[in-house]
Structure 1
Amino acid sequence: MLNKYARAFFARLFTPLAQFLLRRGVSPDAVTVVGTVGVSAAALVLYPLGQLFWGTVVVTVFVFSDIVDGLMARALDRRSDWGAFLDSTLDRVADAAVFAGVVIWFFTGGANPAIAVAALFCLVLGSLVPYARARAEAIGATADVGIAERSERLVAVLVFTGFTGLGLPPVFLLVVLVLLAVASAATLGQRILTVRRQTTV
């Protein structure tokens, strides 16, 4: 529900920007790449420096490129397999960078190994969940079930990481990361069982 209504709101908000970029000859693929580079650089440079709030601000700005490139592709009626592949692959890169930045900081200057370990679990499970779906589709099955959608996971980690940078006690971020890890593990289990039922009948 959050995904549906949030995307509708931001689509209206960023349509003028998408149209402006198209008029300037910018391609959706270019926006996808720039957004991923921006997210990754901010997360892997600012987070390890302890700049959790400003890192989150910069990451959030670049995250919106994921909406802009989609709007541009639809405006061009260009929904290619290549575009879908690039977007999905670079989404994984960006997500991994965000959690990796959190892991690095809390293993080093942040001195909170519990948060670092929880973020590490989120990083690994966050990669396995989409892989399970992609592998299922490769064998003719479907695995689009689960309770841990990418957008909700990203919003949760960014919000609480940012507020931690403003002074929120780190325990709140720890709780959120543990819940995200549990939700991701549950989603992975759901997808495995779903594919098993489809392939063993």
Structure 2
Amino acid sequence: MFGRLRGAMQRFWTPVATFLLARGVSPDAVTITGTVVVTALALGLLPTGHLFLGALLIGVFALADSLDGVMARRSGRTGPWGAFLDSTLDRVSDGAVFAGITLWFVLHHEEPYAAWGTGAALACLVLGSVVPYARARAEAVGASASVGIAERTDRLVLALVPTGFVQLGLPVAVLVVVLGLLAVASLVTVVQRVATVRRQLTTAADGAEA
């Protein structure tokens, strides 16, 4: 959904990447720093009710997620290590965001539909981790599982926008519904990937027996 925006941001970050590389900053340092900052913002601002500021700042760093990749390509440091580090730390920051939203519901249980919101946010937290794991395991067994409804950036944007606007008066019910739909989309994606991998492996096994 936000693929074009991601491409535009990569072009935007090119001069920044050049500036940082010229000063000896490595892509790995940017990856780690971004994860630490997003995690701190998510767990420090969202649970304490600073929803708009938290969502805004996390969104800014989410848009900067491609900076380390741009730096790696420009410096010729692309490789499996960078991809592994980036993917692993993405899980940390994503988990922190949904954990922060979950904690907000828990700490503000007087809000309407807080129990439903807690469940929906937890479902997003768990299923959001299973989605990339299914893809990684598929690749480990020689299959491909890139299918799915919503990409990582889509999930973050769709979760953060209503979260931030709740503080400005958006009904909590809207946030709960969005989180519920995101959880369903993640579940559908997991099922799609399992079915896709099973089909590929079954076809490969049948071909080997023929």
The answer to whether the aligner puts 1:56 opposite 2:55 as a matched pair is yes
The answer to whether the aligner puts 1:100 opposite 2:102 as a matched pair is no
Once the two structures are superposed, residues 31-59 of structure 1 have per-residue CA deviations (whole angstroms, 9 ceiling, x without a partner) of 00000001000000111101101111221
The answer to whether the aligner puts 1:10 opposite 2:9 as a matched pair is yes
State the match for 1:174 in structure 2.
176
Please say if residues 32 and 69 of structure 1, whose CA atoms lie closer than 8 Å, have aligned partners that are also in contact: yes
State the match for 2:141 in structure 1.
139
| Aligned residue identity for 2:2 | L
The 1:110/1:67 distance shift into structure 2, 3 A limit, reads farther
* In structure 2, distance between residues paired with 1:110 and 1:23: 49
Please say if residues 39 and 94 of structure 1, whose CA atoms lie closer than 8 Å, have aligned partners that are also in contact: yes
Once the two structures are aligned, what percentage of the paired residues are identical?
Answer: 60
State the match for 1:192 in structure 2.
194
User: Looking at CA atoms only, which structure, 1 or 2, has the larger radius of gyration?
Assistant: 2
| Aligned residue identity for 2:106 | F
For structure 1, which runs of at least 5 residues remain unmatched after alignment?
Answer: none
State the match for 2:39 in structure 1.
40
State the match for 2:85 in structure 1.
86
* In structure 2, distance between residues paired with 1:113 and 1:16: 46
* In structure 2, distance between residues paired with 1:193 and 1:8: 30
* In structure 2, distance between residues paired with 1:55 and 1:120: 19
For residues 20-39 of structure 1, the aligned pairs below 5 Å read 20-39=19-38
| Aligned residue identity for 1:124 | V
The 1:110/1:61 distance shift into structure 2, 3 A limit, reads farther
For structure 2, which runs of at least 5 residues remain unmatched after alignment?
Answer: 204-210
State the match for 2:163 in structure 1.
161
Give the superposition deviation at 1:63. 1.9
State the match for 2:208 in structure 1.
none
Name the Cα RMSD after superposition.
1.1
Once the two structures are superposed, residues 151-194 of structure 1 have per-residue CA deviations (whole angstroms, 9 ceiling, x without a partner) of 11011011111111221111111111011011100000000001
| Aligned residue identity for 2:49 | G
Q: Which stretch shifts more, 131-140 or 59-68?
A: 59-68
* In structure 2, distance between residues paired with 1:156 and 1:170: 14
Once the two structures are superposed, residues 131-154 of structure 1 have per-residue CA deviations (whole angstroms, 9 ceiling, x without a partner) of 000001001011111112111101
SS of match in other structure, 2:170: coil
Please say if residues 6 and 63 of structure 2, whose CA atoms lie closer than 8 Å, have aligned partners that are also in contact: no
